[in-house]
Amino acid sequence: MSKHIWVVDDDRSIRFVLSKALKRAGFEVSTFERGNDVLEALESHRPSALVSDIRMPGISGTELLATMKERWPDIPVIIMTAFSDLDSAVSAFQGGAFEYLPKPFDIGEAVELISRAAAEGEKATLSVTDGSVSSTSGLIGKAPAMQDVFRAIGRLSQSNATVLLTGESGSGKEVVARAIKDHSQRAKAAYVAINMASIPRELLESELYGHEKGAFTGATTLHRGRFEQAKGGTIFLDEIGDMPMDLQTSLLRVLSDGYFYRVGGHEPIKADVRVIAATNQNMEERVKEGLFREDLYHRLNVIRLRLPPLRERKEDIPRMVEYFLRTGAKELGVEPKRLTKEALDSLMAFDFPGNVRQLENFCRWLLVMAPSSEIRPQDLPPEVQSATPSVVAFSPAASSEGDSTWRDALRREVTERLAASEEHIWDTVMEEVEQTVIEAALDATDGRRVEAATRLGIGRNTLTRKLKQD
Protein backbone atom coordinates (compact mmCIF):
# COMPACT_ATOMS: atom_id res chain seq x y z
CA MET A 1 0.00 0.00 0.00
CA SER A 2 1.43 3.37 -1.05
CA LYS A 3 2.01 6.13 1.48
CA HIS A 4 -0.43 9.05 1.53
CA ILE A 5 0.92 12.61 1.72
CA TRP A 6 -1.19 15.67 2.49
CA VAL A 7 -0.12 19.11 1.28
CA VAL A 8 -1.75 22.27 2.60
CA ASP A 9 -0.87 25.66 1.12
CA ASP A 10 -2.95 28.59 -0.09
CA ASP A 11 -0.57 28.93 -3.06
CA ARG A 12 -2.07 26.88 -5.90
CA SER A 13 1.26 26.59 -7.73
CA ILE A 14 2.98 25.04 -4.69
CA ARG A 15 0.19 22.50 -4.31
CA PHE A 16 0.41 21.62 -8.01
CA VAL A 17 4.20 21.26 -8.15
CA LEU A 18 4.47 19.20 -4.96
CA SER A 19 1.52 17.01 -5.88
CA LYS A 20 2.94 16.24 -9.32
CA ALA A 21 6.42 15.47 -7.98
CA LEU A 22 5.14 13.29 -5.13
CA LYS A 23 2.82 11.30 -7.41
CA ARG A 24 5.72 10.73 -9.76
CA ALA A 25 7.64 9.36 -6.75
CA GLY A 26 4.85 6.83 -6.07
CA PHE A 27 2.87 8.61 -3.32
CA GLU A 28 -0.84 9.19 -3.04
CA VAL A 29 -1.43 12.90 -2.57
CA SER A 30 -4.25 15.04 -1.22
CA THR A 31 -4.05 18.83 -1.30
CA PHE A 32 -5.77 21.44 0.84
CA GLU A 33 -6.01 25.21 0.65
CA ARG A 34 -6.76 25.82 4.35
CA GLY A 35 -5.61 24.33 7.63
CA ASN A 36 -9.22 24.09 8.81
CA ASP A 37 -9.94 21.65 5.96
CA VAL A 38 -7.05 19.46 7.13
CA LEU A 39 -8.42 19.25 10.68
CA GLU A 40 -11.81 18.28 9.32
CA ALA A 41 -10.32 15.56 7.12
CA LEU A 42 -8.27 14.18 10.02
CA GLU A 43 -11.46 13.18 11.79
CA SER A 44 -11.85 10.31 9.33
CA HIS A 45 -8.48 9.80 7.60
CA ARG A 46 -4.76 9.80 8.51
CA PRO A 47 -1.88 10.71 6.17
CA SER A 48 1.60 9.22 6.37
CA ALA A 49 2.98 12.76 6.56
CA LEU A 50 1.72 16.34 6.28
CA VAL A 51 3.43 19.26 4.52
CA SER A 52 2.06 22.63 5.63
CA ASP A 53 2.67 26.28 4.86
CA ILE A 54 2.89 28.66 7.84
CA ARG A 55 0.85 31.63 6.60
CA MET A 56 -2.59 30.64 5.32
CA PRO A 57 -6.19 31.87 5.56
CA GLY A 58 -7.86 30.68 8.74
CA ILE A 59 -5.57 28.84 11.15
CA SER A 60 -1.85 29.22 10.55
CA GLY A 61 0.57 26.40 9.94
CA THR A 62 1.92 26.90 13.45
CA GLU A 63 -1.58 26.53 14.94
CA LEU A 64 -2.22 23.49 12.77
CA LEU A 65 1.03 21.94 13.95
CA ALA A 66 0.14 22.55 17.61
CA THR A 67 -3.26 20.90 17.20
CA MET A 68 -1.79 17.90 15.40
CA LYS A 69 0.92 17.36 18.02
CA GLU A 70 -1.81 17.38 20.67
CA ARG A 71 -4.31 15.10 18.91
CA TRP A 72 -2.29 13.14 16.32
CA PRO A 73 1.33 13.25 17.55
CA ASP A 74 2.42 10.27 15.43
CA ILE A 75 1.94 12.10 12.10
CA PRO A 76 5.18 13.79 10.95
CA VAL A 77 4.66 17.43 9.95
CA ILE A 78 6.97 19.38 7.65
CA ILE A 79 6.59 23.16 7.92
CA MET A 80 7.37 25.25 4.84
CA THR A 81 7.41 29.03 4.48
CA ALA A 82 8.66 31.83 2.26
CA PHE A 83 9.25 33.89 5.39
CA SER A 84 12.40 31.98 6.30
CA ASP A 85 13.60 33.71 9.47
CA LEU A 86 15.05 32.32 12.67
CA ASP A 87 11.86 32.63 14.72
CA SER A 88 9.89 30.64 12.14
CA ALA A 89 12.47 27.86 12.19
CA VAL A 90 12.69 27.75 15.98
CA SER A 91 8.92 27.86 16.51
CA ALA A 92 8.50 25.04 13.99
CA PHE A 93 10.96 22.76 15.76
CA GLN A 94 9.76 23.72 19.24
CA GLY A 95 6.24 22.96 18.08
CA GLY A 96 7.31 19.44 17.13
CA ALA A 97 7.88 19.73 13.37
CA PHE A 98 9.71 16.90 11.63
CA GLU A 99 11.58 19.38 9.46
CA TYR A 100 11.54 23.00 8.33
CA LEU A 101 11.50 23.67 4.56
CA PRO A 102 12.20 27.24 3.39
CA LYS A 103 10.83 28.41 0.04
CA PRO A 104 11.96 28.34 -2.70
CA PHE A 105 13.11 24.75 -2.40
CA ASP A 106 14.66 22.19 -4.71
CA ILE A 107 11.83 19.87 -5.66
CA GLY A 108 14.03 16.76 -5.66
CA GLU A 109 15.34 17.48 -2.17
CA ALA A 110 11.79 18.29 -0.98
CA VAL A 111 10.51 14.92 -2.21
CA GLU A 112 13.44 13.16 -0.54
CA LEU A 113 12.65 14.92 2.75
CA ILE A 114 8.94 14.08 2.55
CA SER A 115 9.81 10.46 1.77
CA ARG A 116 11.94 10.33 4.90
CA ALA A 117 9.14 11.82 6.98
CA ALA A 118 6.64 9.32 5.63
CA ALA A 119 9.03 6.45 6.37
CA GLU A 120 9.27 7.61 9.98
CA GLY A 121 5.56 7.07 10.30
CA GLU A 122 4.92 6.05 13.86
CA LYS A 123 8.10 7.50 15.29
CA ALA A 124 7.60 10.38 17.72
CA THR A 125 8.96 13.77 16.68
CA LEU A 126 10.50 16.51 18.79
CA SER A 127 8.64 17.37 21.99
CA VAL A 128 6.92 20.64 22.62
CA THR A 129 8.79 23.14 24.77
CA ASP A 130 6.80 25.55 26.93
CA GLY A 131 7.71 29.19 27.08
CA SER A 132 7.96 32.04 24.66
CA VAL A 133 10.49 32.41 21.91
CA SER A 134 12.31 35.70 21.82
CA SER A 135 13.42 37.35 18.60
CA THR A 136 17.18 37.43 18.08
CA SER A 137 18.14 40.76 16.60
CA GLY A 138 20.81 40.86 13.97
CA LEU A 139 20.54 37.23 12.87
CA ILE A 140 19.25 37.58 9.34
CA GLY A 141 19.43 35.16 6.47
CA LYS A 142 17.44 33.69 3.60
CA ALA A 143 20.49 32.03 2.06
CA PRO A 144 20.43 28.20 2.17
CA ALA A 145 23.51 28.07 4.41
CA MET A 146 21.87 30.35 6.96
CA GLN A 147 18.65 28.37 6.80
CA ASP A 148 20.73 25.35 7.84
CA VAL A 149 21.93 27.37 10.82
CA PHE A 150 18.35 28.35 11.72
CA ARG A 151 17.26 24.71 11.59
CA ALA A 152 20.17 23.73 13.80
CA ILE A 153 19.28 26.39 16.37
CA GLY A 154 15.72 25.07 16.34
CA ARG A 155 16.90 21.53 17.06
CA LEU A 156 19.41 22.69 19.68
CA SER A 157 16.61 24.44 21.57
CA GLN A 158 15.58 21.00 22.78
CA SER A 159 18.92 19.97 24.27
CA ASN A 160 21.93 21.06 26.32
CA ALA A 161 24.48 19.61 23.90
CA THR A 162 27.89 21.29 23.62
CA VAL A 163 28.21 23.33 20.41
CA LEU A 164 31.29 24.30 18.39
CA LEU A 165 30.83 27.29 16.06
CA THR A 166 33.33 27.67 13.22
CA GLY A 167 33.69 30.39 10.63
CA GLU A 168 35.77 33.34 9.55
CA SER A 169 36.29 36.32 11.82
CA GLY A 170 33.27 38.60 11.77
CA SER A 171 30.85 35.96 10.45
CA GLY A 172 28.54 36.32 13.48
CA LYS A 173 29.56 33.48 15.79
CA GLU A 174 28.67 35.34 18.98
CA VAL A 175 25.30 36.39 17.55
CA VAL A 176 24.56 32.73 16.85
CA ALA A 177 25.78 31.74 20.32
CA ARG A 178 23.34 34.22 21.86
CA ALA A 179 20.56 32.91 19.61
CA ILE A 180 21.19 29.35 20.79
CA LYS A 181 21.05 30.57 24.38
CA ASP A 182 17.94 32.72 23.84
CA HIS A 183 16.03 29.81 22.31
CA SER A 184 17.19 27.16 24.77
CA GLN A 185 15.80 25.81 27.99
CA ARG A 186 18.36 28.05 29.73
CA ALA A 187 17.06 31.21 28.04
CA LYS A 188 16.32 33.06 31.29
CA ALA A 189 19.58 32.08 33.00
CA ALA A 190 22.99 33.75 32.78
CA TYR A 191 24.99 34.14 29.59
CA VAL A 192 28.72 34.63 30.16
CA ALA A 193 31.24 35.15 27.34
CA ILE A 194 35.02 35.05 27.49
CA ASN A 195 37.55 35.60 24.70
CA MET A 196 40.28 33.03 25.24
CA ALA A 197 42.76 34.98 23.09
CA SER A 198 42.40 38.32 24.85
CA ILE A 199 43.30 37.26 28.41
CA PRO A 200 46.95 36.67 29.42
CA ARG A 201 47.76 33.01 29.95
CA GLU A 202 48.70 33.53 33.61
CA LEU A 203 45.27 35.06 34.35
CA LEU A 204 43.10 32.78 32.22
CA GLU A 205 42.71 29.96 34.74
CA SER A 206 41.57 32.39 37.41
CA GLU A 207 39.15 34.04 34.96
CA LEU A 208 37.62 30.69 34.05
CA TYR A 209 37.42 29.00 37.45
CA GLY A 210 37.94 31.78 40.00
CA HIS A 211 40.39 31.81 42.91
CA GLU A 212 40.39 31.64 46.69
CA LYS A 213 41.51 34.50 48.87
CA GLY A 214 45.29 34.29 49.28
CA ALA A 215 45.74 31.85 46.38
CA PHE A 216 48.50 34.05 44.95
CA THR A 217 50.00 37.50 45.42
CA GLY A 218 47.26 40.05 44.90
CA ALA A 219 44.39 37.63 45.57
CA THR A 220 42.97 39.65 48.44
CA THR A 221 39.38 38.44 48.04
CA LEU A 222 37.52 35.39 46.82
CA HIS A 223 36.85 35.59 43.07
CA ARG A 224 34.16 33.58 41.28
CA GLY A 225 35.20 32.70 37.73
CA ARG A 226 33.17 32.62 34.54
CA PHE A 227 32.03 29.01 34.99
CA GLU A 228 30.65 29.87 38.41
CA GLN A 229 29.08 33.12 37.18
CA ALA A 230 27.28 31.18 34.44
CA LYS A 231 25.74 28.65 36.85
CA GLY A 232 22.50 27.32 35.40
CA GLY A 233 23.08 29.17 32.14
CA THR A 234 25.41 29.28 29.15
CA ILE A 235 29.14 30.00 28.83
CA PHE A 236 30.55 31.12 25.49
CA LEU A 237 34.25 30.33 24.97
CA ASP A 238 35.28 32.48 22.01
CA GLU A 239 38.55 31.85 20.11
CA ILE A 240 38.86 28.44 21.76
CA GLY A 241 41.57 27.45 19.27
CA ASP A 242 43.93 29.94 20.94
CA MET A 243 43.62 28.41 24.40
CA PRO A 244 47.07 27.65 25.86
CA MET A 245 47.94 23.96 25.76
CA ASP A 246 48.66 23.70 29.50
CA LEU A 247 45.16 24.96 30.34
CA GLN A 248 43.37 22.67 27.92
CA THR A 249 43.73 19.80 30.38
CA SER A 250 41.72 21.59 33.04
CA LEU A 251 38.93 22.42 30.56
CA LEU A 252 38.86 18.79 29.43
CA ARG A 253 38.43 17.75 33.05
CA VAL A 254 35.52 20.14 33.49
CA LEU A 255 33.78 18.88 30.34
CA SER A 256 34.34 15.20 31.17
CA ASP A 257 33.82 15.23 34.97
CA GLY A 258 31.46 18.18 35.31
CA TYR A 259 33.45 19.73 38.20
CA PHE A 260 36.16 22.36 38.61
CA TYR A 261 38.30 23.87 41.36
CA ARG A 262 39.01 27.51 42.08
CA VAL A 263 42.71 28.37 41.96
CA GLY A 264 43.97 27.59 45.47
CA GLY A 265 40.75 25.75 46.33
CA HIS A 266 40.21 22.15 47.42
CA GLU A 267 36.43 21.80 47.15
CA PRO A 268 35.00 20.67 43.80
CA ILE A 269 32.35 22.94 42.31
CA LYS A 270 29.74 21.53 39.92
CA ALA A 271 29.85 23.11 36.46
CA ASP A 272 26.14 23.52 35.75
CA VAL A 273 26.55 25.23 32.36
CA ARG A 274 25.89 24.72 28.68
CA VAL A 275 29.15 25.21 26.77
CA ILE A 276 29.29 26.93 23.37
CA ALA A 277 32.75 27.37 21.86
CA ALA A 278 33.82 29.24 18.74
CA THR A 279 36.91 29.55 16.57
CA ASN A 280 38.00 30.95 13.22
CA GLN A 281 40.84 28.43 12.99
CA ASN A 282 41.07 25.04 11.36
CA MET A 283 40.80 22.85 14.46
CA GLU A 284 41.78 19.67 12.67
CA GLU A 285 45.04 21.33 11.62
CA ARG A 286 45.60 22.63 15.17
CA VAL A 287 45.24 19.06 16.45
CA LYS A 288 47.63 17.69 13.80
CA GLU A 289 50.22 20.34 14.68
CA GLY A 290 50.03 19.43 18.37
CA LEU A 291 48.61 22.82 19.35
CA PHE A 292 45.24 21.52 20.53
CA ARG A 293 44.38 18.36 22.43
CA GLU A 294 42.52 15.85 20.29
CA ASP A 295 40.44 14.56 23.24
CA LEU A 296 39.37 18.12 24.12
CA TYR A 297 38.52 18.83 20.49
CA HIS A 298 36.17 15.83 20.41
CA ARG A 299 34.57 16.96 23.68
CA LEU A 300 33.83 20.37 22.13
CA ASN A 301 32.88 19.08 18.68
CA VAL A 302 29.60 17.43 19.74
CA ILE A 303 27.42 19.64 17.52
CA ARG A 304 29.32 21.64 14.92
CA LEU A 305 27.89 24.63 13.07
CA ARG A 306 29.77 26.33 10.25
CA LEU A 307 28.81 29.94 9.71
CA PRO A 308 29.14 30.95 6.06
CA PRO A 309 31.15 34.07 5.19
CA LEU A 310 29.12 36.99 3.86
CA ARG A 311 30.45 36.49 0.31
CA GLU A 312 28.64 33.13 0.25
CA ARG A 313 25.28 34.65 1.13
CA LYS A 314 25.16 38.00 -0.65
CA GLU A 315 21.41 37.68 -1.11
CA ASP A 316 21.14 38.53 2.59
CA ILE A 317 22.97 41.87 2.24
CA PRO A 318 19.92 44.07 1.40
CA ARG A 319 18.00 42.98 4.50
CA MET A 320 21.09 43.27 6.67
CA VAL A 321 21.84 46.77 5.39
CA GLU A 322 18.28 47.85 6.13
CA TYR A 323 18.53 46.39 9.63
CA PHE A 324 21.94 47.92 10.44
CA LEU A 325 20.92 51.35 9.11
CA ARG A 326 17.71 51.32 11.15
CA THR A 327 19.21 50.12 14.43
CA GLY A 328 22.40 52.14 13.96
CA ALA A 329 20.43 55.36 13.52
CA LYS A 330 18.68 54.78 16.85
CA GLU A 331 21.90 53.93 18.69
CA LEU A 332 23.88 56.86 17.25
CA GLY A 333 21.04 59.35 17.56
CA VAL A 334 21.10 60.35 13.88
CA GLU A 335 18.52 60.54 11.12
CA PRO A 336 17.83 57.28 9.29
CA LYS A 337 19.28 56.86 5.80
CA ARG A 338 18.75 54.59 2.84
CA LEU A 339 20.83 53.32 -0.07
CA THR A 340 20.02 53.93 -3.70
CA LYS A 341 19.84 50.85 -5.91
CA GLU A 342 23.20 51.76 -7.44
CA ALA A 343 24.84 52.04 -4.02
CA LEU A 344 23.36 48.71 -2.93
CA ASP A 345 24.63 47.09 -6.15
CA SER A 346 28.13 48.36 -5.32
CA LEU A 347 27.92 46.84 -1.85
CA MET A 348 26.68 43.56 -3.33
CA ALA A 349 29.76 43.44 -5.58
CA PHE A 350 32.13 43.84 -2.62
CA ASP A 351 33.55 40.62 -1.13
CA PHE A 352 33.56 41.74 2.54
CA PRO A 353 36.71 40.13 3.94
CA GLY A 354 35.53 41.30 7.37
CA ASN A 355 32.13 39.65 6.87
CA VAL A 356 29.03 40.77 8.78
CA ARG A 357 31.02 42.87 11.24
CA GLN A 358 32.52 44.85 8.35
CA LEU A 359 29.09 45.41 6.80
CA GLU A 360 27.75 46.68 10.12
CA ASN A 361 30.73 49.04 10.48
CA PHE A 362 30.18 50.30 6.93
CA CYS A 363 26.55 51.09 7.78
CA ARG A 364 27.56 53.03 10.90
CA TRP A 365 30.18 54.91 8.89
CA LEU A 366 27.53 55.86 6.32
CA LEU A 367 25.11 57.05 9.00
CA VAL A 368 27.72 59.50 10.25
CA MET A 369 29.65 60.41 7.09
CA ALA A 370 27.16 60.32 4.19
CA PRO A 371 26.07 63.92 3.42
CA SER A 372 22.38 63.22 2.79
CA SER A 373 19.64 60.78 3.72
CA GLU A 374 19.99 59.09 0.32
CA ILE A 375 23.27 57.20 0.06
CA ARG A 376 24.77 57.13 -3.45
CA PRO A 377 27.72 55.08 -4.77
CA GLN A 378 30.10 58.03 -4.33
CA ASP A 379 29.15 58.16 -0.63
CA LEU A 380 30.31 54.59 0.07
CA PRO A 381 33.50 53.89 2.06
CA PRO A 382 36.75 54.13 0.07
CA GLU A 383 37.31 50.35 0.35
CA VAL A 384 34.11 49.71 -1.60
CA GLN A 385 34.72 52.39 -4.21
CA SER A 386 38.25 51.21 -4.93
CA ALA A 387 37.44 47.51 -4.99
CA THR A 388 37.45 45.67 -8.29
CA PRO A 389 34.25 43.62 -8.71
CA SER A 390 34.96 39.92 -8.40
CA VAL A 391 32.57 39.07 -11.23
CA VAL A 392 32.48 41.23 -14.35
CA ALA A 393 30.38 38.99 -16.59
CA PHE A 394 27.22 40.72 -17.77
CA SER A 395 28.35 44.04 -16.30
CA PRO A 396 28.25 47.29 -18.29
CA ALA A 397 32.03 47.24 -18.56
CA ALA A 398 31.98 43.72 -19.96
CA SER A 399 30.15 44.73 -23.12
CA SER A 400 32.20 45.98 -26.03
CA GLU A 401 29.02 46.74 -27.94
CA GLY A 402 27.92 49.44 -25.60
CA ASP A 403 25.15 47.46 -23.88
CA SER A 404 24.12 49.13 -20.64
CA THR A 405 23.26 45.91 -18.79
CA TRP A 406 23.57 42.16 -19.16
CA ARG A 407 19.83 42.15 -20.01
CA ASP A 408 20.57 44.25 -23.08
CA ALA A 409 23.22 41.76 -24.14
CA LEU A 410 20.77 38.90 -23.67
CA ARG A 411 18.05 40.80 -25.57
CA ARG A 412 20.44 41.34 -28.49
CA GLU A 413 21.35 37.62 -28.56
CA VAL A 414 17.68 36.57 -28.63
CA THR A 415 16.88 39.19 -31.30
CA GLU A 416 19.66 37.87 -33.54
CA ARG A 417 18.39 34.30 -33.19
CA LEU A 418 14.85 35.39 -33.99
CA ALA A 419 16.11 37.21 -37.07
CA ALA A 420 17.88 34.02 -38.15
CA SER A 421 14.59 32.08 -37.81
CA GLU A 422 16.15 29.75 -35.27
CA GLU A 423 13.76 27.25 -33.64
CA HIS A 424 13.32 26.28 -29.98
CA ILE A 425 15.02 29.50 -28.87
CA TRP A 426 13.55 29.37 -25.36
CA ASP A 427 14.98 25.94 -24.56
CA THR A 428 18.42 26.57 -26.05
CA VAL A 429 18.91 30.03 -24.53
CA MET A 430 17.71 29.04 -21.07
CA GLU A 431 19.95 25.96 -21.14
CA GLU A 432 22.94 28.08 -22.17
CA VAL A 433 22.19 30.65 -19.44
CA GLU A 434 21.92 27.90 -16.82
CA GLN A 435 25.20 26.32 -17.93
CA THR A 436 26.97 29.70 -17.93
CA VAL A 437 25.77 30.50 -14.40
CA ILE A 438 26.72 27.04 -13.10
CA GLU A 439 30.15 27.17 -14.77
CA ALA A 440 30.80 30.61 -13.25
CA ALA A 441 29.83 29.31 -9.79
CA LEU A 442 32.07 26.24 -10.16
CA ASP A 443 34.97 28.44 -11.29
CA ALA A 444 34.44 30.72 -8.28
CA THR A 445 34.43 27.74 -5.87
CA ASP A 446 37.29 25.80 -7.50
CA GLY A 447 34.92 23.07 -8.64
CA ARG A 448 33.32 22.41 -5.23
CA ARG A 449 29.77 21.47 -6.20
CA VAL A 450 28.20 21.70 -2.74
CA GLU A 451 29.56 25.21 -2.19
CA ALA A 452 28.61 26.24 -5.73
CA ALA A 453 25.03 25.02 -5.23
CA THR A 454 24.82 26.83 -1.89
CA ARG A 455 26.01 30.11 -3.38
CA LEU A 456 23.57 29.81 -6.28
CA GLY A 457 20.69 29.00 -3.92
CA ILE A 458 19.85 25.68 -5.58
CA GLY A 459 20.05 22.10 -4.42
CA ARG A 460 23.17 20.01 -4.93
CA ASN A 461 21.12 17.43 -6.79
CA THR A 462 19.73 20.10 -9.10
CA LEU A 463 23.22 21.33 -9.97
CA THR A 464 24.44 17.79 -10.65
CA ARG A 465 21.39 17.09 -12.82
CA LYS A 466 21.95 20.27 -14.84
CA LEU A 467 25.57 19.31 -15.43
CA LYS A 468 24.58 15.86 -16.65
CA GLN A 469 22.17 17.44 -19.12
CA ASP A 470 24.99 19.39 -20.70
Res 400: pLDDT: 42
Res 296: pLDDT: 95
Q: Which segment of 34-43, 287-296, 341-350, 379-388 scores lowest on mean pLDDT?
A: 379-388
Q: How confident is the model at residue 84 (pLDDT cuts 50, 70, 90)?
A: low
Q: Stretch 7-25: mean pLDDT, rounded?
A: 89
Residue 7 has pLDDT above 70, yes or no: yes
CA distances to 39, 212, 267, 390, 392 from 443, in Å:
49, 58, 59, 12, 13
Res 86: pLDDT: 67
d(CA 325, CA 366): 8
Q: Stretch 123-151: mean pLDDT, rounded?
A: 55
Question: pLDDT tens digits, residue range 354-410?
Answer: 999 999 999 999 999 988 888 999 999 988 887 744 433 344 344 444 444 566 677
Residue 134 has pLDDT above 80, yes or no: no
Taking residue 228's Cβ as centre, other Cβ atoms within 10 Å add up to 20
Contact 451, 312 (CB under 8 A): yes
Res 256: pLDDT: 92
Res 398: pLDDT: 41
Res 150: pLDDT: 86
Residue 164 has pLDDT above 50, yes or no: yes
Res 304: pLDDT: 94
Q: Stretch 346-361: mean pLDDT, rounded?
A: 91
d(CA 212, CA 221): 7
Q: How confident is the model at residue 132 (pLDDT cuts 50, 70, 90)?
A: very low
Read off the amino acid at residue 394: F
Maximum CA extent, the chain: 92
Residue 469 has pLDDT above 70, yes or no: no
Question: pLDDT tens digits, residue range 176-208?
Answer: 999 999 888 898 899 999 999 888 888 898 999
d(CA 29, CA 5): 5
Res 83: pLDDT: 63
Q: Give domain 423-469's CATH architecture.
A: Orthogonal Bundle (1.10)
Give the CATH fold of the 4-120 domain.
Answer: Rossmann fold (3.40.50)
Closest CA to 48 of 71, 21, 32, 72: 72
Domain boundaries 144-310, corresponding CATH code? 3.40.50.300
**Mean pLDDT score across all residues of the chain:** 83
Q: Stretch 446-454: mean pLDDT, rounded?
A: 79
* HSE-up (13 A, CA, CB side) for residue 379: 22
Domain ranges within the chain, ordered by starting residue: 4-120, 144-310, 324-386, 423-469
136 or 253: which leads in pLDDT: 253
Highest-scoring range by mean pLDDT, 208-212, 383-387, 435-439: 208-212
Res 405: pLDDT: 59
Question: pLDDT tens digits, residue range 282-335?
Answer: 999 999 999 999 999 999 999 999 999 999 988 889 989 988 998 899 889 888
d(CA 321, CA 340): 12
Q: Give domain 324-386's CATH architecture.
A: Orthogonal Bundle (1.10)
DSSP letter assigned to residue 255:
H
- What is the share, in percent, of the chain residues with pLDDT greater than 90? 30
Q: Is 279 exposed, middle or buried (0-12, 13-18, 19+ CB in 10 A)?
A: buried
| Inter-residue long-range contacts of 193-196, CB under 8 Å, 24+ positions, other chains counted | 193/235, 193/236, 193/238, 194/226, 194/235, 194/236, 194/237, 194/238, 195/238, 195/239, 196/237, 196/238, 196/239, 196/240, 196/242, 196/243
Domains 144-310 and 423-469 agree in fold: no
Highest-scoring range by mean pLDDT, 64-73, 97-106, 322-331: 322-331
d(CA 105, CA 110): 7
Annotate 319-346 with DSSP letters as a single string: HHHHHHHHHHHHHHT----EE-HHHHHH
Res 414: pLDDT: 79
What values do phi and psi take at 195, rounded to 5? -90, 110
Res 401: pLDDT: 43
Res 177: pLDDT: 93
Per DSSP, the three-state class of 60 is coil
Res 403: pLDDT: 43
Q: Stretch 210-221: mean pLDDT, rounded?
A: 84
Highest-scoring range by mean pLDDT, 160-169, 435-444, 446-455, 457-466: 160-169
For 75-233, where are the E strands, in sequence order? 77-81, 99-102, 163-166, 191-195
